[in-house]
Amino acid sequence: LRQVAALLAHHPVLDRQRAIVTTAITNLDLHDISRSAYTFGLTTLFVAHPIAAQRVLAERVREHWVTGSGQRRIPDRKPPMEILRVVESIDVALDELGGADSVEIWVTGASSNEGPLLEHDAARLLLREPGKPVLIVFGTGWGLADAICQRAAARLSPIVSPRADGYNHLSVRAAAAIIFDRLLGDRAAR
Ligand code: SAM
């Protein structure tokens, strides 16, 4: 199985008007997505933020559950938080995974009109063939900016809705868990 890591991006991401913005880190994202990432065997959940004060906050949350009173109170929370890595940018994450040239970025998003898509079943098979480590990138705000999407080797197809109006704007927490299960979940367990 290829190494899979994930990254939650807070810049450059889009706002409602599709302007480039920087969003604040949501604590819930740290707990929720690292637990999903750990459950499905990802090696690392990177949380990228360009502002040092935001990274300090995220590190403090991490420390609380890895070495602080959180770890003593609820030891089960420790392993997922240990795979959390707070970094300044996607470039730092790529360097930690072996360098931009030896990592494939797969981006995600709710919209399906942004170029060729990698279906989840095909992605699942690709992860089971020899290949570079994969970094699955999730956005915040109203989604990832083009600057990130342009660097991607693939864009995972969106999780689609059976609704007539196609509403599929999931929280990033829900989207990450669904995608991790589809790509890495143990089908036999169903
Ligand atoms: N602020 C909200 C939140 O709390 O999550 C906004 C959602 S967040 C921008 C949307 C991100 O979640 C996208 O960048 C993508 O990574 C993921 N996402 C949301 N809906 C999705 C879908 N239907 N299919 C795939 N990814 C989705």
Q: Which of 173, 166, 108, 171 is nearest to 135 (CA)?
A: 108
Q: Which atom of ligand 1 is nearest to the CA of 156?
A: 25
Cα torsion for 61, 63, 69, 73, to the nearest 10°? Answer: 80
Q: What is the pLDDT of residues 90-122, one digit of tens each?
A: 999 999 999 999 999 999 999 988 788 999 999
Atom of ligand 1 nearest to the CA of 176: 17
* CA-proximal residue: ligand 1, atom 20 (nearest): 170
19-48 confidence digits (pLDDT tens):
999 999 999 999 999 999 999 999 999 999
